[in-house]
Amino acid sequence: MLTYYCNLALRSFRRNTVLSALMVLAVALGIGTSMTMLTVLHNLSGDPLPQRSGVLFHPQVDPRPAELPSADPEPPDNLGWQDAVNLYALPGGAKRTLTSSNWLPTRLDAAHSPMRMVTTRAATADIFAMFGMRFLHGGPWSAQDDDQRAQVVVLTRTLNDQLFGGADSTGRRLVIATKPFRVAGVIEDWNPQPHFYDLDGKSGAYGEAEQMYLPFFTWLDLPQDYGYGPMQCWGRDGDTGTHNPKAPQCTWAQFWVQLDSPAQVTAYRQALQNYSAQQRQLGRFERAPNARLRGLVDWLDYKRVVPATVRMQTWIAFGVLLVCLVNAVGLLVAKFLRKAGEIGVRRALGASRRSVFLQCLTEAGLIGLLGGLVGVPLAWLGLWLVRQQPMAYAGNVHLDPLMLGIALAIAVLSALAAGVWPAWRASGIAPALQVKSL
């Protein structure tokens, strides 16, 4: 029966080509606009590490004074120096990493080698395993290298191509911030979107990733005046942390732990509460224990990483789709009423109102499918235009197979919804009056 209804719909398209084309175009414009912004929203709000996000957690504690004007009830996003060291040493055996970022002057350890400023991620050794980075050459440094302030570095593929022509650079030498470093390994370029591990860093949530990785404590001891990542200080001297990252009134270090089971999550959350209570007893913390332990996805939700303008534009785009569907409703009514005589004959020959309703609804669904097929290239064009914009996230938006399927589904379902009332009106046409007028 569905095949029969489709044949009738195709015949109707051929008899009313212009009207049918207008309806397809209306649906296509709505789908192209709405799917452009829905795809941008999908790309920006996706899970950056779908294979690992369930075991990665972001701890927070609150070292701020009890009386702090306009203080957020939530603890600071990052850790100060003393809490970073203490939590890093917290017993429990979980993988964990301290991390921050800046720019550092870097050159080959050779005479007359040009200097370049390179975006740098400082971290402890577990970061590579925790975040699933893949090594092309060599390997990560060790926990002993962290403790011994070893001068080693891991490069990304892109930086290794620039410095060493893509060759295996393991063991080669670089000069970073006047200090000699040995290349420990090279990783595949790694740039999850958004940058969950440092949303407020130099490259922001959707910018380019860092090009090289240094041991955290080695990096901290380098002669540098390039900042220590996103710095939040309180009290009278708000610039203290710019010159002294160990200032007690500043937070700046990101900290992540890997917890593989609900029991570990519960135990670590309790450990954070106990730590906060202990620091209050020692006089370092003035506030009652105010600790948080958020998973990766919860952390992104809390930070509202999707720009508000993208959400607003998505709603506007679906408003455009609604307007297009309203126009389609009017065109469908006109189309179905123009063939009232044909419907009357079918009713007189024994067709039920239900069969007429389904026939008209099938025609509306085919219009939606055609509109979706035409709208997908319009969405690709819209995404191309988005990629030309000077936004950090622009280069990362793309239409994946999932969104392609969603686009076609939305086109068909919205056209079916738009066709319900016109189909209902058409199914109510009185056959006697139509046959009499023939």
Distance between CA 67 and CA 86 in Å, rounded? 24
Name, in order, each residue with C-beta under 8 angstroms of 275's C-beta and a sequence gap of 6 or more.
Answer: 61, 86, 87, 90, 291
Task: Encode the chain (438 residues) as per-residue pLDDT tens digits.
Answer: 667 667 666 777 677 778 778 888 888 898 889 888 888 888 787 788 988 999 999 999 999 988 887 778 899 999 999 999 999 998 766 899 999 988 899 999 888 889 999 999 999 999 999 999 999 999 999 999 999 999 999 999 999 999 999 999 999 999 999 899 999 999 999 999 888 998 887 667 787 889 999 999 999 988 766 667 778 888 766 555 566 788 888 899 999 999 999 999 999 999 999 999 999 999 999 999 999 999 999 999 998 888 788 888 888 888 988 888 888 888 877 777 666 666 666 666 666 777 777 777 788 888 888 888 888 888 888 888 888 877 767 777 778 888 888 888 888 888 888 888 787 777 666 655 544 444
Cis geometry, peptide bond prior to residue 194 (ω within 30 degrees of 0): yes
The conformational region for residue 8 under phi > 0 = left, psi -120 to 50 = alpha, else beta, is alpha
**291 — phi, psi (to 5°)?**
-110, 155
Would you say the pTM of this structure is higher than 0.85?
A: no
Confidence at residue 434, expressed as pLDDT on a 0 to 100 scale? 47
Are the beta carbons of 217 and 149 closer than 8 angstroms?
yes
Tokens representing 417 are 């919804």
> What is the dihedral sign for C-alpha 164, 165, 167, 168?
positive
Confidence at residue 359, expressed as pLDDT on a 0 to 100 scale? 78
DSSP letter at 69? T
Tokens representing 172 are 């080669």
Are the beta carbons of 95 and 107 closer than 8 angstroms?
no
What are the tens digits of pLDDT across the range 311-334? 888 888 889 888 888 888 888 777
Tokens representing 75 are 């603890």
DSSP letter at 236? S
Distance between CA 425 and CA 364 in Å, rounded? 14
DSSP labels for 152-177?
A: EEEEEHHHHHHHHTTS--TT-EEEET
Which has the closest alpha carbon to 213: 248, 184, 255, 246?
Answer: 184
